[in-house]
């Protein structure tokens, strides 16, 4: 397994615009020991609501719940960038069942894009997002926060894309709404890693 990073060339261009120059997507997933079954989902989307929910104040995320996929994590790892400016992911050896939040972005529920990363599997077997095929448009993603509130998001779009075609601007681009991006891996394993990224685009709801 390689060092857990989001991509080989991920660099933050400007924190305010949340733009990352990615050469690919999540690479530290899959493996040759006990991989989960290959997984692909259909890319699908619905129309974004005209009226955005009122944004929340800044408060760090403390967990992740996706009822439709049985995800109920009681913790959230802070993700930063390494010395090369590459966005890290939860350690595949010790944190396969924990989600991570990119601390360079807004907290979930604030105005802007919040980015959460979670593994589908690692070399040790299925991980937190192992039942991702159960997730559909309109399902909810809930993020408990340190202030006692919960940011509740509704999935508007699901995209399954090869890592070489990772939609950088779409994922990290600036927005005037409170939105969430949940990133994980999919596709077959090639050279020890999953070939695809599965991206959930979700909007805060009241």
- Give residue-wise pLDDT tens across range 77-107: 999 877 776 678 899 999 999 999 999 999 9
What pLDDT, in 10s, does the model give residues 23-49?
Answer: 345 555 655 566 788 998 999 999 999
Class of residue 126 by CB neighbours under 10 A (exposed 0-12, middle 13-18, buried 19+)? middle
Residue 1 pLDDT exceeds 90: no
pTM: 0.86
Mean pLDDT within 179-201: 93
H helix or E strand, kind and range, residue 170: helix 168-172
CATH T-level fold of 12-36+52-204: Sortase; Chain: A; (2.40.260)
CB-based contact 64:75 (threshold 8 Å): no
CA atoms within 13 A on the CB side of 2: 14
H helix or E strand, kind and range, residue 188: strand 178-190
Nearest to 168 by CA among 188, 183, 186: 183
| Pairwise CA distance, residues 181 & 80, whole Å | 16
């Amino acid at each position: 397994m390689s060092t857990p990073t989001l991509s080989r060339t991920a660099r933050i261009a400007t924190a305010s615009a949340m733009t990352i120059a990615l050469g690919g997507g999540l690479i530290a997933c899959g493996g040759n020991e006990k991989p989960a079954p290959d997984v692909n989902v259909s890319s699908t989307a619905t129309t974004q609501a005209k009226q955005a929910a009122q944004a929340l104040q800044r408060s760090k995320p403390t967990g992740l719940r996706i009822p439709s996929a049985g995800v109920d994590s009681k913790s959230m790892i802070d993700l930063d960038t390494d010395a090369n400016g590459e966005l890290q992911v939860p350690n595949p050896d010790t944190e396969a069942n924990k989600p991570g939040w990119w601390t360079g972005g807004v907290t979930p529920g604030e105005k802007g894009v919040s980015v959460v990363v979670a593994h589908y599997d690692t070399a040790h077997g299925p991980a937190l997002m192992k039942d991702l095929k159960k997730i559909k448009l309109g399902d909810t993603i809930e993020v408990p926060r340190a202030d006692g509130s919960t940011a509740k998001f509704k999935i508007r779009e699901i995209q399954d894309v090869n890592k070489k075609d990772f939609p950088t601007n779409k994922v990290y681009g600036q927005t005037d709404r409170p939105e969430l991006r949940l990133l994980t891996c999919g596709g077959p394993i090639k050279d020890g890693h999953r070939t695809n990224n599965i991206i959930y685009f979700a909007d805060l709801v009241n």
